[in-house]
Amino acid sequence: MMPEILLHYIWQKHLWAGFPQYTTDGKPVEVVSVGLYNIHAGPDFTNAHIRINGQDWIGNIEIHVHASDWYKHHHNTDPAYDNTILHVVNQVDKETRNSQGELIPQCELQYPHNHDYLDQLFRSSTLSGAFECGKQLLEDPTLLTKGWKHTLLEKRLECKRKSIEQLLKITQGSWAHAFYISLAHNFGFHTNGLPFEMLALQTPLSCLQKHRNSLFQITAILLGQSGLLSNKDPLWQEYCFLQKKFSLHPLEVSIWKKARMRPQNSPEVRIRQFAHLLYQSEHLFANLMETETVEQMAELFTLQYRDERVYTHVNRPLPIGRNSINILLINTVIPYRYAYTHTQSPIDNAIAWLEKIKKEDNTIIRQWALLGQKVHSAADTQALIHLYQNYCQPHLCFNCQIGHQVFGYKQLELF
């Protein structure tokens, strides 16, 4: 059976060009832009532009081998897939609907089915190595050894440590301030990571610390600085006062991404959660560096609603879900633990913590699963993400243990 990753490649590289495409109800499909390949959670391609029967559509493309996979992956109940403008499949075996019950147009992709011709195209492309490795991994998933995954995880932690060292130069050696910026970035959860980081850079931690006993003031500063605060909000006048006090400059509201986003992931909700976390945690960085277990780390990110009086003039924020907390632990806390205690604590401690955190779910990991890789924890997912981003994408096959084996064998066969 054709792997889904191959369909992604055929779509992305226009290998269907020259073949007329139609929806299942016979309407012609013209592909203006295949969209941007999405390596994170959500539809496979975003911002695509197609014409169906002459009508323009801009949105997301989801790709499956069988149309019924839409339901196996529970996209029919996930609002993140509601803006899917075309479901591209190898075989239509069922109609598909989004979480609103709306019918999703489907296209049974037409492309050259001659395997020799496809193989020739793959071999002449820049992704020939990655495709060859993928074929071999499908036949023998054990080519990706535990030892290589362990090495990849070490490399990923080292990369993150070096990034933290660069941030420390910006913060003049302040670990707490550097952590605040990194934590803000990861509170954006990829979609709004950069705007969140800019918010932290535009809002010095020292300003927030001077008002750390007031959730009202911390929220006013952060929401005001984001540019998302309405002048009708009770927080507005307080922000105007604090803006003048600290000579603050707010961000442009246009930098935030809000379209097709679940309400709990909106930037306003995330900023309120971030403000509450800073309010309740006077020494968050220091406490996180002293915890012994993953559960103790997670507990520090659990929002505490102890005194209802603090919500008189500010909305009580939604709790931070455990999946979100896990992402913050994986991408912020554990790398900082590793970097902060680098000379005293072996890398095995960081790996042990990652092994206790639930595996991540994103496009990269789902692709590895299609290639037969068993994923058990965040340690596995972080290793596989590093492999994809640092070896597969830049086509450094001969620097990879898998590629060395695959192409090493092929060279032996040729000579």
Model confidence over 49-61: pLDDT tens digits? 999 999 999 999 9
Do residue 86 and residue 199 come from a single domain? no
Do residue 107 and residue 254 come from a single domain? no
Each residue of 353-367: pLDDT tens digit?
999 999 999 888 988
Asked whether residue 17 is assigned to any structural domain, the reply reads yes
Residue that the structure tokens 């820049």 belong to: 126
Which residue, of 340, 375, 390, is where some domain finishes?
Answer: 340
Asked whether residue 383 is assigned to any structural domain, the reply reads no
Asked whether residue 32 is assigned to any structural domain, the reply reads yes
pLDDT at residue 205, as a whole number: 95
**Region of poorest pLDDT, from 119-123, 183-187, 240-244, 362-366:** 119-123
Do residue 259 and residue 119 come from a single domain? no
Q: Closest by alpha carbon to 106, among 115, 119, 93? A: 93
* Phi/psi at 27 (5° precision): -85, 135
Asked whether residue 108 is assigned to any structural domain, the reply reads yes
From its phi and psi, is residue 202 left (phi > 0), alpha (psi between -120 and 50) or beta?
alpha
Which residue, of 125, 141, 170, is where some domain finishes?
Answer: 125
Do residue 211 and residue 323 come from a single domain? yes
125 — pLDDT class (breaks 50, 70, 90): very low
400 — pLDDT class (breaks 50, 70, 90): confident
Q: State the average pLDDT for the chain.
A: 88
Most trustworthy range by pLDDT among 57-61, 108-112, 121-125: 57-61
**Region of poorest pLDDT, from 285-294, 309-318, 381-390:** 309-318
Between helix 193-202 and helix 215-226 the angle, nearest 10°, is 120
Strands 28-33 and 21-22: antiparallel
Do residue 212 and residue 119 come from a single domain? no
Do residue 195 and residue 98 come from a single domain? no
Each residue of 231-268: pLDDT tens digit?
999 999 999 999 999 999 999 999 998 877 788 889 99
Do residue 64 and residue 207 come from a single domain? no
Do residue 241 and residue 284 come from a single domain? yes
Which residue, of 340, 363, 387, is where some domain finishes?
Answer: 340
Do residue 107 and residue 206 come from a single domain? no
Asked whether residue 187 is assigned to any structural domain, the reply reads yes
Asked whether residue 138 is assigned to any structural domain, the reply reads no
Percent of the chain with pLDDT over 90: 66
pLDDT at residue 410, as a whole number: 47
Residue 47 identity (one-letter amino acid): N
Say how many domains are in the chain. 2
Residue 4 has pLDDT above 90, yes or no: no
Asked whether residue 230 is assigned to any structural domain, the reply reads yes
Do residue 316 and residue 222 come from a single domain? yes
Which residue segment(s) compose the domain that 76 sits in?
Answer: 4-125
Asked whether residue 385 is assigned to any structural domain, the reply reads no
Do residue 21 and residue 121 come from a single domain? yes
Do residue 264 and residue 335 come from a single domain? yes
Q: Assess contact for 63 and 90: CB atoms under 8 A.
A: no
